[in-house]
Amino acid sequence: MMDSSASTPSASPSKAKKGSSVSGYTASDITVLEGLEPVRKRPGMYIGGTGAPGLHHLVWEIVDNAVDEVINGHATTVSVTLHKDGRTVTVQDNGRGIPVDIHPTHGKSALELILTTLHAGGKFDQNNYITSGGLHGVGSSVVNALSSDMVATITRTGGKFVQEYRRGKPKDTVKRIGDARGSGTSIRFTPDVEIFGDLVLDPELIYEHLEVSAFLNKGMKVIFKDDTSGTRTEIQHDGGVLDFLEHTITLRENRKTTDQVLHIERKQGPRLEIALAWTDAPREYFKSFVNGIPTRDGGTHEQGLKDAVVKAVRNYIDTHEISIPRGLSISSDDIREGLVAICSTFLVEPQFQGQTKDKLNNPETRGQVDGAVRPILEQWLHTNKSTADAILMRIVMSAKARQASRAATDQVRRKSATTRRLNLPGKLADCSNSNPTECELFIVEGDSAGGSAKQGRDRLTQAILPLRGKVLNAEQAPLKKVLNNNELSDIVRALGCGIGKDFNADRLRYHKIILLMDADSDGHHIATLLLTFFYRYLRPLIEDGYVFLAQPPLYKVEAGGRTHWASDDAEKDAILAKLPARYKVEISRFKGLGEMMPKTLYETTLAPDKRRLLKVTIPEGDRLETEQVITDLMGKDPSTRFREITSWMDLVEDLDV
């Protein structure tokens, strides 16, 4: 093991400011005041929610303030007690004690200002006061606001001082209750049942949070008393992130590639501590933190570390002329496979990114971390020849495995799916799922409707085939002519099941074939042509229940703040009849599917849980009659066609599928 600590001693930075009192900080340093009502009104804004995570957030806020006193060199110990009720918590530190002197202009103690006003922080925290997580050290007032009871006990300047609060409001001014030696802060609080109901705290979660804090702040002593189980645990990790690394590897049951572990600690510039080791893990595994906050999605600090590792290893391979097997190329992924790393840095102004703010975004950090790690890692590899060899063997092995597995998958792919996929029509927007029982093909009339459907669909399971040209009337055409019709041959290719003597239902690519046409006479005509084609040439698909008609809305009825959809006049009238007379009603008629927003099309017509489909069936025992209908409807004699036209919907049956 090697420790490459930078040369600067780790003196605790003193936060004393020129012109301040002996304590280095007085009540007059407090800025910006705002009451706590907004916190009780909208707790979610401050702690994310009022469920279990929000409840635990209260504990992290107070604990992190105590840890800050340690980080900034004023305290050594943090103790946390979870009381018997499972909800009340006492946090204590042996730091300087929150100042209790009276603020000259506000006439209140600094303690009261800190615990009862929002955004009251010391002026120092903009300059050089680094905080561990939380609301940048101003979270204690938020916790107070959301606690039914809070008691702050401060020891400083030879005395013990107490102030109590009820739902964030002080019961009285700060009182000196006696003499005391030393200094420190103790805060006891009970989360308000009015806010959190009867939720209780989870001792295991508290333990985990404290443990991570102890790993990231080496030397800090943490005492956790859990009165719900009568246990008391002391956590202290003098090995810091090095201990964290060992702990992580053991927990994940990985084995190290070599016993050697790299540990880097930079004390110049932003504090940075990294530990890493290669293991037999099948992937890389990074745990990164900024100011003690886990950055689950990594970010620039993690990227800088990855850059450094990859470049240092490549540089080592180049300068030592390590021979790599012929034809084997080593990727960054190969270099990082099995790497387990902990990366913790402390920044004055961290910027977070992403929905959950789990990613560090400070651009300068990437180069700084790379710059701090790379030379040390290179040096480490140079001076530990056997370690470097073992790591390189590990890397070459992963490159070989990757190459072999890539070749194998390529071969499998070539043999199966691609050949069938290559035959698919170009205008088909296929779905990504390849299990036919879960897949649906929408045959859509017109390019613009096809476009909306492509955008609005569920890409996983819904494929779209837009029809552009004329659909041939298959009633009057031989198979050869049918296959010469672009639209019909595209349908056959998309379905994958063949036609005529090649027909094989087992190869059908979608178990729902849904015809989606405008709700007008043109749309009905095309649907009829398609159904004729299915009936004449792919009848088993109808018989086995694979063919459906979609029911797009024709009318949108807006009334009383709600939107209703109707697919014909009768449905529209039924909706109107049910609406209270006092409602102002707005009716709009869609000219075609292409007019609909993709989202609307999805919600009214495509979404499996909202749409209504009509399943096309051939009524049992009525086969001859159906045959007659088709002949009459689609055959050459216009008079029979007219007779049948109104009754053709008898072919279909209303279904919610």
Active site residue 238: no
> By CB under 6 A, which span of 32-40, 179-187, 315-323, 396-404 interacts with ligand 2B7?
179-187
Query: Taking CB under 6 A as the rule, does residue 59 contact ligand 2B7?
Result: no
Residue among 23 and 190 whose Cβ is closer to ligand 2B7: 23
Query: Is 490 a catalytic site residue?
Result: no
Distances (CA, A) of 431 to 292, 434, 463: 43, 8, 5
Nearer to ligand 2B7 among residue 80 and residue 497 (C-beta)? 80
Of 129 and 546, nearer to ligand 2B7 (C-beta) is 129
Considering the rule CB under 6 A, would residue 93 count as an interface residue with ligand 2B7? yes
User: Applying CB under 6 A, which of residues 121, 240, 450, 553 lies at the interface with ligand 2B7?
Assistant: 121
66 near ligand 2B7 (CB under 6 A): yes
37 is catalytic: no
Q: How far is CA 310 from CA 288, 303, 321, 373, 463, in A?
A: 18, 11, 16, 11, 42
Stretch that binds ligand 2B7, among 94-102, 143-151, 576-584, 647-655 (CB under 6 A): 94-102
Q: What gap in Å lies between CA 236 and CA 620, rounded to an integer?
A: 79
Does 157 help bind ligand 2B7 (rule: CB under 6 A)?
no
Pick the catalytic residue from 93, 337, 445, 603.
Answer: 445
Q: Which stretch binds ligand 2B7 (CB under 6 A): 19-27, 161-169, 173-181, 619-627?
A: 19-27
DSSP assignment of 103-115? PTTT-SBHHHHHH
| Length of the chain in terms of residues written | 657
**Number of residues located near ligand 2B7, criterion CB under 6 A:** 24
Q: Of 100 and 519, which has the nearer Cβ to ligand 2B7?
A: 100
Q: Are 164 and 153 in contact (CB under 8 A)?
A: no
Q: For residue 390, give Cα distances in angstroms to 192, 314, 323, 326, 465.
A: 56, 15, 14, 19, 55
d(CA 537, CA 525): 18
Q: Which is nearer to ligand 2B7, 348 or 576 (CB)?
A: 348
Q: Smallest gap, in angstroms, from Cβ of residue 62 to ligand 2B7? A: 5
| By the rule CB under 6 A, 57 interacts with ligand 2B7 | no
> Binding mask 124-143 vs ligand 2B7 (x if CB under 6 A, - otherwise)?
-x-----------xx-x---
3-state helix, strand, coil in the chain (%, to 5): 40, 20, 40
Q: Which of 180/529 has CB closer to ligand 2B7?
A: 180
Distance from C-alpha of 136 to C-alpha of 46, rounded to nearest angstrom: 12
Per-residue x/- marks for ligand 2B7, 21-50, CB under 6 A? --xxx-------------------------
CB-based contact 58:143 (threshold 8 Å): yes
Least separation in angstroms between CB 59 and ligand 2B7: 10
Q: Counting contacts by CB under 6 A, is residue 218 touching ligand 2B7?
A: no
Selected binder of ligand 2B7 within 62, 135, 467, 474 (CB under 6 A): 62
Among residues 34, 410, 520, 653, the one annotated as catalytic is: 520
What does the alpha-carbon distance between residue 390 and residue 181 come to, in Å, rounded to a whole number? 56
Long-range pairs for 592-595: beta carbons < 8 A, 24 or more residues apart:
592/446, 592/448, 592/449, 592/518, 592/520, 593/444, 593/445, 593/446, 593/448, 593/449, 593/452, 593/453, 593/516, 593/517, 593/518, 593/552, 594/446, 594/447, 594/448, 594/449, 594/451, 594/452
Contact with ligand 2B7 (CB under 6 A) among 70, 91, 491, 514: 91
Non-local CB neighbours of 461 within 8 Å, separated by 6+ positions: 431, 433, 438, 439, 440
**Binding of residue 114 to ligand 2B7 (CB under 6 A):** yes
187 binds ligand 2B7 (CB under 6 A): yes
- Give CA–CA dist 383/372, Å, rounded: 18
Candidate segments 90-98, 194-202, 329-337, 494-502, binder of ligand 2B7 by CB under 6 A? 90-98
The C-alpha R_g of the chain, in whole angstroms, comes to 36
Q: What is the DSSP string of 591-614?
A: S-GGGS-HHHHIIIII-TTT--EE
Q: Catalytic: 520?
A: yes
| DSSP per residue, 308-330 | HHHHHHHHHHHHTT----TT---
Q: Which sequence positions are flagged as catalytic? A: 445, 518, 520, 522
* Interacting residues with ligand 2B7 (CB under 6 A): 23-25, 62, 65-66, 69, 91-93, 95-96, 98-99, 114, 121-122, 125, 137-138, 140, 185-187
